[in-house]
Structure 1
Amino acid sequence: MNERFVRVGDVELCYESLGDPAHPTVLLVMGLNLSMDWWRDDFCADLAGRGFHVVRFDNRDVGRSTHVGGPGITAWQFLRRRATPVYTLGDMADDAAGLIAHVDPRGAHVVGASLGSMVAQEVAIRHPRLTRSLVSIMGRPGDGRTGRVHWTRVPDFLRPPAADPVEGMVAAFRRIGSEDRTAQDDEDVRVTMRRSMARETGDGSSRQLAACVGERDRTADLRGLRVPALVLHGERDRVIVPSGGRATAAAIPGAELLEVPDMGHDLARWVWPTVLDGIERTARRAPVAPG
């Protein structure tokens, strides 16, 4: 996959694509402070092999996309769940919609993980003509009650940077991730973290976190969606507890809820077949796009 760039409003997004552009497009939206590299190459190749045009991208403030500048969120604001974000999840969703319009005006099957799931929900709400289906992974509806971080995981957001960022990330995924993570999963993190660091042009993590903490309640708008939807959540998730997934699925008419035993707040390789099958199953429920 080759990096490309597109201007969307005030930001420039870096993206890559894989597969035949004539095939239905799947847009992959990654989570907090994670570049598009965290949608692993093998995962994207498998998805493209199922007959999709796969597009992944760096959200604003991550990777080689525009880093906007401005204040983020303090530890005290995070603990009080109060933030004045420089931009909103809606702004990030508008970025993603602009990318969809650029790569496939027919629209895309929008898939988001963690913070990316909240952005994906906003894409479906704000840009229904560009959203063919929705897959929300490890997400919540923003009601302030469901999907909150478990108290045991709050320290993960307050830790100082690790002396070795690569091994620090391995340890982080061990803390928050799924049961039965393997040595291959750890090596995936090392390879991806090194590649992501080599592409990074700034640090927007605090601003993205502020946008997440300052999210709006999307419940009423989710009830208005009329696209096939899958809500997938790990039963072991303590970063966004499973009540967030249940509330999201309950809000979206006709949504499928899939809770995965032993899955935490990660995409360990053993979870991939479930996720890939879910994306394909949900996309096949959507009407065929004209053209």
Structure 2
Amino acid sequence: MTSHQSHGEQLLKTDGVELCVETFGDPAAPAIVLVAGAAASMLWWDAGLCEQLAARGRFVVRYDHRDTGRSTCYPPGEPAYSFNDLTLDALAIQDALGIGRAHVVCQSMFGGSGLVLGVDHPDRVASLTFVSTSTGADDLPPPSGDLAMPAEPDSSDAAAVVEYVVAGARAFAGGSPYFDEAAIRALAEHDVARARNYASTLVNHYAVEPDGPARGGFGDITAPTLVVHGDHDPLLPLPHGEALRDAIPGARLLVLKGAGHDLPRPVWDDFVSALVSHTEGARS
């Protein structure tokens, strides 16, 4: 096995919860833990992207949140966990894999997890990267006026659910020239087929109130921080990323030109280069 290949999926059991995890690369290399956005399984961190990072000397960890993919799920609308529990799942995975300090990359709503980890658990975080997220400040611009979200599907109709996911991804791409509908459709089909209960995936993360850190806010983050934001993001327009950079001491901003709320393949080279550089000097 070459160092950049996947080590395969595994189910880790911790405190009565099963979390599906997949790793790429050399376990002795600096670890990058990828935390997906709301309602997103590990598949939304593309395996090809993980392989690129592993080929650049990183040990990459992606996983299914609760209520996504193969991890523990709960009845739709009845998540038996807090936002903080979802955040602590990332630390449980680090513990299970023997990772003391990780370079944590958090996307969209789960930027809130990066905030909690950075402020309340700084000893476990070698660096932070926030992708397509926000400080949540009231004075930031609302979603784009032409962000047309599809109507929720009948969750028992797999084909309708796939169409819903594709339409949502198209909307979140914000008119990006990089939106690849065929690739997104294949991903959505795999995601829906693989999930324990996609009806729970669609709603449960949004039923949980985000928990803030106990010890402070963005200004109290001490880990080296990279903010990554697409200039086509219709859900959280670019000023959200700029505000996040300004709120965190010493943070840097990478603007992905042509990208929406996601990480389309044509921006991978820029993202990977920036993330490898960002995680080069930070102690893991």
TM-score bracket relative to the smaller structure? 0.7 to 0.9
Is 1:280 the equivalent of 2:272? Answer: no
Question: What amino acid is the match of 2:61?
Answer: V
Mapping for residues 216-231 of structure 1, pairs under 5 Å: 216=211, 220-231=216-227
Residue deviations 1:231-290 (CA, integer Å, cap 9, x gap): 011122111222321222112111101223322111111111121112111111302x4x
Give the Å deviation of 1:69.
3.5
5+ residue gaps, structure 2: 1-5
In structure 2, the partner of 1:45 is 51
Query: Where does residue 249 of structure 2 map in the other structure?
Result: 253
What is the RMSD of the two structures over their aligned residues, measured on CA atoms?
2.4
Look up the match of 2:194.
Answer: 199
Match of 1:188 in 2: 183
**Identity between Structure 1 and Structure 2 (%):** 31
Q: Indicate how the Cα distance of structure 1 residues 146 and 86 shifts in structure 2: closer, same or farther if over 3 A, else same.
A: farther
Normalising to structure 1: TM-score of the pair?
Answer: 0.84
- Map 1:89-128 → 2, pairs under 5 A: 89-128=83-122
* TM-score for both structures, normalised by structure 2: 0.86
Count of aligned positions: 270
Change (3 A) 1:258 1:48: same
Larger displacement relative to structure 2 (27-36 or 170-179): 170-179
Q: How many angstroms does 1:32 deviate by?
A: 1.7
Task: Map Cα deviations across residues 143-197 of structure 1 (whole Å, 9 max, x no partner).
Answer: 34436433433x52x6222853334433332222152125xx3222122112211
Aligned twin of 1:166: 162
For 1:14-36, what per-residue CA distance to the aligned partner results, in whole angstroms no more than 9, with x for missing partners? 10111110011111111121110
Offset at 1:6?
1.6
In the alignment, what sits opposite 1:61?
A: 67
Read off the aligned partner of 1:204 and give its amino acid letter.
Answer: T
* More helix by percentage: 1
Distance across 1 between alignment mates of 2:49 and 2:245: 24
Residues 180-238 of structure 1: CA deviation (Å, up to 9, x unaligned): 125xx322212211221121011233221133xx3356694221111111001112211
Q: 1:176 to 1:28 in 2, by over 3 A?
A: same
Q: Secondary structure at the match of 1:275?
A: helix
* Structure 1 unaligned spans of 5+: 73-84
Separation (CA, whole Å) in 1 of partners of 2:137 and 2:98: 32
- Aligned match for 1:35, one of 34, 41, 49: 41
